[in-house]
């Protein structure tokens, strides 16, 4: 996929702790209860504090492929956009479509809230077992398609835990 320079300039890859990102919003790779868990989800809940759990209890959960927004509480980020990625089985159970929907829904909520800078983790690649190289391609393709028609968010950061994901994102961005 060829990525226009004006679109590519709106995306960056960083190896960092997403809970420390100084952006308008971060994305939480959550479970459907939105009540915390392991990995990125647990780290975000711990860093944001108990007010996040209290707000999440009012949301009634979130289906796979959709997203919900909360305040950032104890984080530098003003907002947290929670999305529930698919479990990867064989790749023949709509996993790609559901993962792309996660990114689109997060971007939609971000744009509606006037978010200028948004940091994504590598959704579904932890305990949900989505192959990282494919997940990174889906992320880049979906974000590029969104950015081509939308001014917000102005800056999207793919925040990676570990250099393996950094390499996959950078490879996908070569376009």
**Residue located via tokens 């997060």:** 106
Coil/strand/helix, residue 91 = coil
Per the annotation, the verdict on 24 as an active-site residue is: no
- Encoding tokens for residue 144? 């590029």
* Alpha carbon 26 to chain centroid, angstroms: 7
Tokens of 150: 């939308």
Annotated catalytic residue, options 17, 22, 24, 41: 41
CA distance 122 to 52: 21
Q: Which two tokens stand for residue 100?
A: 């792309």
Q: Which phi and psi angles does 57 have, rounded to 5°?
A: -60, -25
Q: Which of 145, 164, 147, 163 is nearest to 155 (CA)?
A: 147
Active-site residue numbers?
A: 41
């Amino acid at each position: 996929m060829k990525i226009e320079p004006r679109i590519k300039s709106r995306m960056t890859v960083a190896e960092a702790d997403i809970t420390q990102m100084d952006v308008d919003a971060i994305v939480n790779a959550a479970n459907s209860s939105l009540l915390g868990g392991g990995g990125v989800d647990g780290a975000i809940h711990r860093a944001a504090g108990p007010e996040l759990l209290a707000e999440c209890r009012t949301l009634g959960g979130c289906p796979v492929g959709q997203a919900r927004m909360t305040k950032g509480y104890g984080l530098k980020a003003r907002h947290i956009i929670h999305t529930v990625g698919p479990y990867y089985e064989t790749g023949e159970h709509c996993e790609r479509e559901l993962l792309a929907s996660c990114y689109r829904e997060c971007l939609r909520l971000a744009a509606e809230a006037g978010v200028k800078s948004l940091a994504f983790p590598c959704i579904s690649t932890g305990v949900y077992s989505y192959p990282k190289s494919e997940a990174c391609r889906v992320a880049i393709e979906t974000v590029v398609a969104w950015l081509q028609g939308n001014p917000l968010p102005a800056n999207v950061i793919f925040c990676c835990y570990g250099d393996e994901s950094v390499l996959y994102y950078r490879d996908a961005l070569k376009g």
